[in-house]
Chains A and B, each alone.
Chain A
Amino acid sequence: MAITGDSRSQFHVLAVDDSLIDRKLIERLLKTSSYQVTTVDSGSKALKFLGFQEDEQGNPDTPFGSPNNHQEVEVNLIITDYCMPGMTGYDLLKKVKESSSLRNIPVVIMSSENVPSRITRCLEEGAEEFFLKPVRLSDLNRLKPHMMKTKIKNQKQEEDQEELKISEIQSDEQQQPVQLPSPQPQPESQPQPPPPPPPALLLQHNNNKRKAMEEGLSPDRTRPRYNGIPTMV
């Protein structure tokens, strides 16, 4: 499925830093690179902005207000300072990666200190990049691929959701005897046409349905297999 390049669609970056000067700086850098920016001065404020809430047991929960598992505001990247009082950038990174709703958001860590073990730790925890401060415009050029990857991943996830729905509907159809069309004089060698799909699905999901049926079932496939699904020739 082609992703149309809409020049008006902007990437939104959430920048986290306890230093006012550094916030001003990163904001300017990001705006110069044509990103939409929100700055906050702490990890806890960042999580609040992202709509993250823990329940009383301290278990990370899906964001409040929406059972559909979507953030309140779409954030395409989080860039955070490492050294912050209270919640460090590393703590924030962990919380984001542990959250089912937030873990797909790429996280970049910034630090004024070049500590190799710190860098390794952050990258192992899932940070995409580690920038040494002061951050430069050229560093920000490395951000776009990570943000693009998330947009593509989100779109693919939506496609997969639709595929699954279709497979489930087909499974229901298999339980009933197949309704063949009324007999017409046809040579026997001609293949039988498949049962027509429910009209509602036809409108939007034709492409996905064909994709689901043509796709070879790999051994790694976690979704249940269905035998005898007629394929379109």
Chain B
Amino acid sequence: MDLLSQLRGQIADFSAFLHREGFVDDQFTQLQKLRDESSPGFVVEVVSLFFEDCEKLVNNMAKALEQQIVDFKQVDSHVHQLKGSSSSIGAARIHNVCIAFKTCCEDQNRDGCVRCLQQVNHECIQLKNNLQTLFKLEQQIVAAGGSIPAMQ
């Protein structure tokens, strides 16, 4: 099997895995469909922005939850932002954690919030690693003379 076919097989399997495990959902596929010759770096750009945002929000939430008196409204607004952006890029697992996180904020449940925050952090790291793997595979395909296959 030539390199290109091998890579294509790898990327197809990996994408299927990401979808199956719920790391990404159909919205991520929609994002990939928007990538074309005029904006080849679109997905990478949006994903990078998302992770930058993610880190910033996680740090802010951590600080807020460390306070003696927790401002749950503020934490909630951060969660709201993260919930929105994760939904926009198709980061399904992160989005789901945010839903639970919001409930903890509404209940003013500090321990619940801290647990959710830890989960968010964990999911962000996992997704970042996974997407980096995906993008690397795509780069290899392009380098081998192929074009990035359309995702299912």
**Contacts from A to B (Cβ < 8 Å):** 19-22, 24-25, 28-29, 31-32, 83, 112, 133-134, 136-137
B100-113 CB contact bits vs A (8 Å, 1 = yes)? Answer: 00000000000000
Interface residues contributed by chain B, number (CB under 8 Å) = 23
Q: Is the CB of B30 within 8 A of A20?
A: no
Q: Is the CB of B34 within 8 A of A21?
A: no
A-chain residues with CB within 8 Å of residue B30 when the two chains form the complex: 134, 136-137
B3 vs chain A, min Cβ distance (A): 31
B14 vs chain A, min Cβ distance (A): 23
Q: A21-B53, A136-B30 are in contact. Are A112 and B46 (CB under 8 A)?
A: no
Interface SS of chain A: helix
**Contacts from B to A (Cβ < 8 Å):** 27, 30-31, 33-34, 36, 38-39, 42, 45-46, 49-50, 53, 80-81, 83-85, 87-90
Nearest 5 Cβ contacts at the A-B interface: A21-B85, A28-B34, A134-B88, A112-B84, A134-B27
Q: Is the CB of B46 within 8 A of A25?
A: yes
Which of A22, A31, A32, A137 makes the CB contact (< 8 A) with B88?
A22
CA distance A224 to B66 in the complex (A): 73
Q: Is the CB of A25 within 8 A of B88?
A: yes
Which of A19, A31, A136 makes the CB contact (< 8 A) with B81?
A19
Q: A19-B81, A24-B45, A28-B39 are in contact. Are A133 and B87 (CB under 8 A)?
A: yes
A-chain residues with CB within 8 Å of residue B38 when the two chains form the complex: 31
A132 vs chain B, min Cβ distance (A): 10
